[in-house]
Amino acid sequence: MLTRAILKKIVLTRPGRKGDNGRLLVAGGSKKYHGAPLLAIEAASRFVDLIYYYSPHAPNAQVKQKNKCFISVEKPNPNRVDCVLIGNGLDVNPENKRLVNQLLKKSKRAVLDAGAIRMAGSFEGTIVTPHAREFEDVFKLKASKANALRVAKQNNCVVLLKGKIDFIASPARVRENRTGNEVMTRGGTGDVLAGLCAAIYCKNPAFESACAAAWINGRAGD
């Protein structure tokens, strides 16, 4: 079970030049769900130095009025960042499916959340953050600790399976996170978690990043 000790295995922030604490690209949003990436960006901004935001459909001007801590871009460029967070508020459709997979091909590191999980052609080398229904729909397996590990092994990725107990699995191991409470079933909590995960992943290993993000998110909720 995860404890505060997980924080000793990662570097959250360090003094230095702008960018030393990470550069993150967030790709997501839609006309209906423009708030989802906003929550992810707000959480990520606590840890990274620079956040770029791209959305194919969301009203960026409206989002920008509510959050000043990102740079809006008209074209996503994964090469200029340490990690890409894809999927928060993103509609599932053919156009966005092409976007998701183009970003995956060019990204050094990627975190997949929400709609991106349903549209990704490959999960290799990523952190995937499904809730139980998404996990079962996409992987055709019951959401469980054993199956989180199974999916991580089959896809060579890290799985952060969200639930009353979070299961975080890499191809070699699986851990449980028990921080958090029933109030955290509210919409937007998963977006905050994804933002934390991507921000930490900018400068830390995938498994430790997912574990730390799950623990921090739940602890904040408690």
Q: Could you give the CA distance from residue 199 to residue 43 in angstroms, rounded to a whole number?
A: 8
The answer to whether position 78 is within a domain reads yes
Question: What total of structural domains would you count in the chain?
Answer: 1
The answer to whether position 180 is within a domain reads yes
The answer to whether position 176 is within a domain reads yes
Please give the pLDDT value at position 66. 58
The answer to whether position 4 is within a domain reads no
Torsion sign over Cα 15, 158, 70, 47 = negative
Beta carbons of 116 and 100 less than 8 angstroms apart:
yes
Please give the pLDDT value at position 125. 97
Residue 158 is part of which domain span? Answer: 17-221
124 to 10, 27, 159: CA distances (angstroms): 22, 19, 11
**pLDDT tens across the length of the chain (222 residues):** 899 999 999 987 666 666 678 999 999 998 888 889 999 999 999 999 999 999 987 555 556 565 567 888 889 999 999 999 999 999 999 999 999 999 999 999 999 999 999 999 999 999 999 999 999 999 999 999 999 999 999 999 999 999 999 999 999 999 999 999 876 777 789 999 999 999 999 999 999 999 999 999 999 887
pTM, two decimal places: 0.94
The answer to whether position 39 is within a domain reads yes
The answer to whether position 11 is within a domain reads no
Q: Which residues contact 28 (CB under 8 A, 6 or more apart)?
A: 36, 37, 40, 55, 58, 85, 86, 87, 88, 89, 90, 113, 114, 115, 116
φ, ψ of residue 17 to 5 degrees: the values are: -85, 160
The answer to whether position 201 is within a domain reads yes
The answer to whether position 10 is within a domain reads no
Q: CATH number, domain at 35? A: 3.40.1190.20
